[in-house]
């Protein structure tokens, strides 16, 4: 199944803005993002900590709805889903 992973700001600079991933059935959000980021150690290390969890500041969305990063390991993705990964947002 095809899933779109979009990386924004600094993450996009390191990993590319959009990746189309051919994912296996039942893959979780966190495992999909790990797969998408695995080709670039600096990008991977910016998003994930030493234990392989999302860093505290990472924002993850599935189909334009924010999900808690702590839940990303138990949320499966489906055909046509879009996963977006953002660094912290600041502004005024």
Q: Could you give the 3-state DSSP secondary structure of residue 76?
A: strand
Sketch the domain layout of the chain as residue ranges. Answer: 2-86
Domain 2-86 coded CATH 3.10.20.30: yes
Kind and range of the H or E element at 14?
helix 10-15
pLDDT of residue 80: 93
Per-residue pLDDT of 7-39, as tens digits, reads: 999 999 999 999 999 999 999 999 999 999 999
Per-residue pLDDT of 39-75, as tens digits, reads: 999 999 999 999 999 999 999 999 999 999 999 999 9
Closest CA to 31 of 56, 64, 10, 60: 60
């Amino acid at each position: 199944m095809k899933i779109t992973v979009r990386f924004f700001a600094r993450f996009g600079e390191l990993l590319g803005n959009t990746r189309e991933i051919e994912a296996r059935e039942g893959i979780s959000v966190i495992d999909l993002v790990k797969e998408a980021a695995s080709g670039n150690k600096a990008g991977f290390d910016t998003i994930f900590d030493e234990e392989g969890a999302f860093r505290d500041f990472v924002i993850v969305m599935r189909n334009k709805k924010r999900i808690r990063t702590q839940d990303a390991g138990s949320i499966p993705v489906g055909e046509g889903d879009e996963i977006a990964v953002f660094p912290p947002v600041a502004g005024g």
